[in-house]
Structure 1
Amino acid sequence: MGIELNHTIVHVKDRWAAARDVGGVLGLPEAGAYGPFAELKLDNGASLDFMDTEGEIHGQHYAFLVSEGEFDLILGRLRDGGRQWWADPFKRQPGEINNGDGGRGLYWEGPDGHWLEIITRPYGSGA
């Protein structure tokens, strides 16, 4: 067996609201309870484990590799929800999509300052 990411903890103010927000945009099934976490399972077996956190939360970056069809559905959910997205992580290209490595990508602000990204081609995969 190779090395794979199994889960990561996402610190938030409200684990259930954050899991609903991220899962809703990505089109994933509702999160389940696992200990102190709202566990949002991804299609590759990894999970985002949302955990209530007191005090300051330092935003992290989470990138998701999606198919072209999933990209369109996620973009539609962002539009329908009145959410802003950017082609770049510096917010210089609002409402645009990037074409890195011959695919498509975009960024949006998730719960508690976390920065979320979808891409249709892995970084470095070529044009």
Structure 2
Amino acid sequence: MLELPEAPSWGPFTNIQLPDGVLLQFAEPPVEIQMKHYAFLIDDELFDRAYRRLFDRGIEHGGRGVYFKDPAGHAIELITRPYL
């Protein structure tokens, strides 16, 4: 999704190497790992390509969203799907 090269993988993990040296490891169940939240800052063009891949593959996702502040400083969120 992030257009990063795969790194050597081992065991139940598929590894991805980020440019700053961080190694992300993804495991398929039945490996029991507590769910975490990760955010990636990417440019608009990569976001559009990644979103298209999610959509084309039928991967469940939360839609698109954007966050901004109004002139009074209130946080505003626009989303395309409701939170469940």
Corresponding residue for 1:29? Answer: 5
Instruction: Give the RMSD, CA atoms, in angstroms.
Output: 3.1
TM-score using structure 1 length: 0.42
In the alignment, residue 101 of structure 1 is paired with which amino acid? F
In the alignment, residue 69 of structure 1 is paired with which amino acid? E
Structure 2 unaligned spans of 5+: 70-78, 80-84
Corresponding residue for 1:39? Answer: 15
User: Which structure 2 residues correspond to residues 1-127 of structure 1 after superposition, within 5 A?
Assistant: 25-33=1-9, 38-50=14-26, 56-86=32-62, 96-101=63-68
Identity of paired residues, percent?
A: 36
TM-score using structure 2 length: 0.59
After TM superposition, the structure 1 stretch with the greater mean CA deviation from structure 2, 64-73 or 40-49, is 40-49
Residues 41 and 55 from structure 1, CA distance in 2 versus in 1: closer, same or farther, beyond 3 angstroms?
closer
In the alignment, residue 23 of structure 2 is paired with which amino acid? S
Richer in helix (by share): 1
Which is higher, the Rg of structure 1 or of structure 2?
Answer: 2
Number of positions where the alignment pairs a residue of Structure 1 with one of Structure 2? 70
Larger RCO: 1 or 2 (CA < 8 Å, sep 6+): 1
